[in-house]
Amino acid sequence: MTLALAFSVRRMLERDMLVRVLASAETTGEVTCLLLDKTGTLTVNEQRVRRAWIAGVDVGPLDDDLDDAARTETIARDVAALDDAVVTLASILLAINTTVTRDAEGTILRGSRQEIALLRFVQSLNGDDESFATTILAQFPLVKLFPFTAERKRMCTLFMLRDGVEDEEAGGRVVIRAAVKGAAQDILSQCSTVLNARGKKRPLDDTTRSTLSRAFESWQRDAERVLLIAYRDVERDHVSPRDATTMCERMSVEDAESRLVLVAAVGMSDPIRPEAPKSVATCRRAGVDVKMVTGDSLSTAVAVARRCGILDDDDVSRACMTGEEFRERVVDQASLDAVWPDLRVLARASPADKYALTNGIRASTTRRGRQVVGVVGDGTNDAPALRRSDVGFALGSGTETAREASDIVLLRDDVASVVEAIGYGRNVFQSIEKFIAFQLTANVTCVVVSVGGALAYSRAPLSAIELLFVNLVIDSLASLALATDPPSDDALRRRPADAAALVDDAARVNIVAQVAYQLCVVRYLMDRFGPDDAQIFTAFVLMQLANQCNCRATSNRIDVFAGVGDNPLFVALLAAEILLVVVIVQRGGAVFHTRPLDVGEWCRCVAFALGSLPLRTVAATFLVSLAAAIREDARLLSSRRGDGESTNRR
């Protein structure tokens, strides 16, 4: 097991997967439920503004294949219908309501992909003026920031308007303004007025609110994240900067974000990773239940889930819900067990929702059996769920807190790495299964031959030094060889691994068949040539080496040599084992009590060894299929008896 884990961890690192907790390299093979983040995992996290709505005027759509010059030209053409003051106001609200960090020259040092994309949009709104955002920050001092939270789903910035900045409606007296940016439905509910193309405010009545809500929802159905931009003049009297600072420090977030003026809406697109649909399909085929947990709106989440293959067209109503609905319906473990098996998409989810879902699935008592949960996250808020999961995957571009809370860091930031990690985890279990099958076959045969030969012939056919060679050399080299096989495609076609059932039906049948075959061969050689003949030891060891090849194939795979060329170490070790056997038999007579064999005797021993290969094929196909058919017939018979007894009782 240690060898298998060591090889797996090294290969995972070569594939840009950093294993922080050694045991997780094995646990990934048991994952039955995978909770995926959307941004950066299923999408490329290269966000761009695809369209906008500014004071009643539509901007875009802006195709992803447009270069910067073409985007700027399209935006300039669309905003021509707007008053310049409206464009300036929208630009100021976007430029100042950000957490992007800049250096002294205004160059962006650090910030989220979303906020950087919004600042580029501001630059395009102002004729590709790269200094616009820096100028705004210099002219309008930031006083207070209410950061984005998963509960509010918006952020708010309080800033001062200096003297000389015209605000016609406020008569130049406005010195404190709140800029708010956030999710569409959260901001829209806080707005009481809306700006028109001429810069005039008008009441946001129910009809207009409903029209805008439908328009924004159509953007979300196109897999776009919709952000609304609004503001409020929180102080209309001329006050000193010191008084303004004092007022802002005392102001609550509820006061700052109420009775807002809606200015603009922005639709952000984030392309689906090309490999995401295939990776999701691979997980589902491998028996892993894939769910998406995101803070985006339900419409956006559903659109992305459909494109990735997480969600089928016919299960939207029962497989999707928002965080609010989740919190209402899930009050205990029983209610969670009624929800999670059908759940595919959890939208507008908070970190607490993600943690509750992770913890609930792990503690589930449904008939599906024990659940092993994998969680993918990249933010600080994901840390509790990452720690609570059986295996936590953190994106390499995520926060330090998320990486510290994880078991495996995905340096490539995509869902394909998660699938590969699951494959490597299952390969660890397969390596253990291979070695157990090999050891059981060799040891059972050794015990029966030694004991039976001693009872029947008054001496053991295998000497102590020969048994020591088999256990110390052959078994050790075989364990190393079987532990070095890379993951095969077959690993992701099977159900998740189960540590409580390492040896499956195919392995059991093969063990019994190989033990029976080897005992028959040894019995024949002892009866024909006597218990002291060197052919017994030679045939016995060669049969173990042939069975070593048999054990490479798990389940009912027929070709035991498939992919052997991808593992030169296995070939080298097998060749070394064969060479050792030849040298010991031909030259080790004084120590191992053997004698040199002639060509005919070697051919006989090799033929017996090769006979175990087709035997494994028969056992893996006919006998396993026969056992499965017998079990199915027994199940049907039991079901019919149960139905008959029920009918008789009626």
Which DSSP category does 271 fall into? P
Mapped onto helix, strand or coil, the DSSP state of residue 75 is helix
Q: How far apart are CA 465 and CA 398, in angstroms?
A: 57
Q: What length does the chain have?
A: 650
**How would you classify residue 106: left for phi > 0, otherwise alpha for psi between -120 and 50, otherwise beta?**
left
**Partners of 154 in beta bridges:** 182
Catalytic residue among 16, 37, 64, 382: 37
Q: Using an 8 Å Cβ cutoff, are 619 and 510 in contact?
A: yes
CA distances from 164 to 93, 157, 175, 455 (A): 18, 21, 11, 110
DSSP secondary structure letters along 563-578 = TGGG-HHHHHHHHHHH
DSSP secondary structure letters along 488-509 = -GGGGGSPPP-TT--S-HHHHH
Handedness of CA 298, 304, 306, 310 (dihedral sign): negative
Would you call 614 exposed, middle or buried from its count of C-beta atoms within 10 A (0-12, 13-18, 19+)?
Answer: exposed
What is the pairing mode between strands 408-410 and 17-19? Answer: antiparallel
Structural element, H or E, at residue 514: helix 505-529
Among 272, 258, 209, smallest CA distance to 230 is for 258
Q: What tokens does 535 get?
A: 């052919």
Q: How far apart are CA 4 and CA 427, in angstroms?
A: 8
Instruction: Measure the CA dihedral 537/541/542/545, to 10°.
Output: 180
Q: Catalytic site residue 378?
A: no
Longest dimension (CA), the chain: 115
Which residues are known to be catalytic? 37
